[in-house]
Amino acid sequence: MEQQRRAVVVGAGIGGLTAAVALHRRGWQVTVLERAAGLAPVGAGIGLAPNAQRALDAVGLGDRVRALSAWQGDGGMRTPGGRWLARTDAKAAAARFGGPLVLLHRATLVEILTSALPEGVVRTGAAATVTDFGDDDRPARVTVADTGTGTRGELEAELVLGADGIHSATRRALFPGHPGPRYSGTTTWRVVVPAPARPFAPHETWGAGRLWGSQPLKDGRVYAYAMAVAPAGAHAPDDEKAELLRLFGDWHHPVPEILAGVAPDRILRHDVHHLPDPLPAFHRGRVALLGDAAHAMMPSLGQGGNQAIEDAVVLAHHAGTAPGFQPGRALAAYTADRLPRTTAIVRRAARTGALTMLSARPAVVLRDTAVSAVSRFGPGLALRGFDGICDWRPPVDPVPRSGHDPSRVS
């Protein structure tokens, strides 16, 4: 009888964990190596569009995610003074893309993913380095350093996934000539706070070189995010709450109320880097990249994590059931499926990001007028920007497993 094959996943972010679940379901023996001491995820929300939900349906987790998420209601885009530029119609969006956009806390998503894995699959405090890419005849090798004790070990695997995020060392090892991530010129803040007393509709508000979004979570809290043009590595001279008050304190409700409820030490600030230059491939030997390691994008379409989830499911589809795995063929098929799609989305996200971050007054007036005009033709025109993204369907296995139809969001 053939031995169970081993897959090593470097990085326990959303992409790595989804890949681990997808491979485990196909009979792989999976080990996830996470450098951080624990799986304490970023204190922020994440929006999952129907494309990622269909991928999660394919690994049996879509219903659980939807049950623990807030389904996005009607809202829209506003100006800092509160004028509506465009209204979004949740029903029209769901009808167009085959399901709702849902929003949940990242910790909830990580919990759902880890609970679908057997005990011991995820090893935290384990920094991994890929030392041999392997090939069709030779396994790949990964060195693991225990960040607590400093001890080192080595693992051999039939498949290694570099899911180690935007600053991926696996990507650098696979493609040393690639220029790597570039600063987008923008920084972001994220908070999760109790909902303000006065109700509000979900919104994204575009100012001059600044943006704010407020989205309710299912548990009564609110996930809010902000973005602004800033030099790389900048930080507030005092604290990030004071900086947010300076930038957004006079914006429309609920922004000031949300800010009033924020503890300065609960604000996450991250500069946004992305990969505007596509990689030549998403694999080499027996090693494949996924998620931000492969195609980091600006958050303007809310698709970075969604694409990582898609990657994971497509990769597991091509890896197949463990005994039949042929790395050269399987990973070339993975690259062929994923590289063109994600390259196009990285570019679209950069274009949208540039539009949201326009700073010059005449350009902002022109942009707002155009958004407003487009919305007057109905939600269809605005939603068209997500055609080809949110309507994605996962690949269907030649022999359906467990009677599930992965083409539908349940």
Contact region with ligand FAD (CB under 6 A), list: 27-35, 65-73, 205-213, 317-325: 27-35
CB 28 → ligand FAD: shortest distance, Å?
Answer: 18
Q: Which is nearer to ligand FAD, 145 or 371 (CB)?
A: 145
* Region of 171-179, 289-297, 322-330, 380-388 interacting with ligand FAD (CB under 6 A): 289-297
Nearest to 212 by CA among 361, 75, 71: 75
Whether 249 and 80 have beta carbons less than 8 Å apart is answered as no
Does residue 163 belong to the site contacting ligand FAD (CB under 6 A)? yes
Binder among 56, 308, 331, 346 for ligand FAD (CB under 6 A): 308
By beta-carbon proximity to ligand FAD, the closer residue of 99 and 291 is: 291
Task: Give buried/exposed letters for 316-334 (b at 16+ CB in 10 A, else e).
Answer: bbbbbebeebebeebbebb
Q: Find the binder of ligand FAD among 6, 9, 15, 222 (CB under 6 A).
A: 15
The separation between the first and the last C-alpha atoms of the chain, rounded to the nearest angstrom, is: 37
Select from 90, 94, 117, 169 the one that contacts ligand FAD (CB under 6 A). Answer: 169
34 touches ligand FAD (CB under 6 A): yes
Does 12 participate in binding ligand FAD (rule CB under 6 A)? yes
CB 158 within 8 A of CB 7: yes
Name the burial class of residue 231, with classes exposed (0-12), middle (13-18) and buried (19+) by CB atoms within 10 angstroms of its CB.
Answer: exposed
Cβ closest to ligand FAD, residue 47 vs residue 377: 47
Phi/psi of residue 325, each to 5°?
-70, 125
Would you count residue 127 as binding ligand FAD (CB under 6 A)? yes
Among 50, 305, 353, 406, binds ligand FAD (CB under 6 A): 305
Pairwise CA distance, residues 256 & 249, whole Å: 5
**Structure tokens, 43:** 């204190």
Distance, in Å, from the CA atom of 346 to the CA atom of 279, rounded to the nearest integer, reads 12
Q: Which of 303, 294, 316, 314 is nearest to 388 (CA)?
A: 303
75, 299, 353, 379: residue in contact with ligand FAD (rule CB under 6 A): 299
- Site residues (vs ligand FAD, CB under 6 A): 10-16, 33-36, 46-47, 127-128, 163-165, 169, 188, 190, 225, 270, 272, 291-293, 299, 302-306, 308
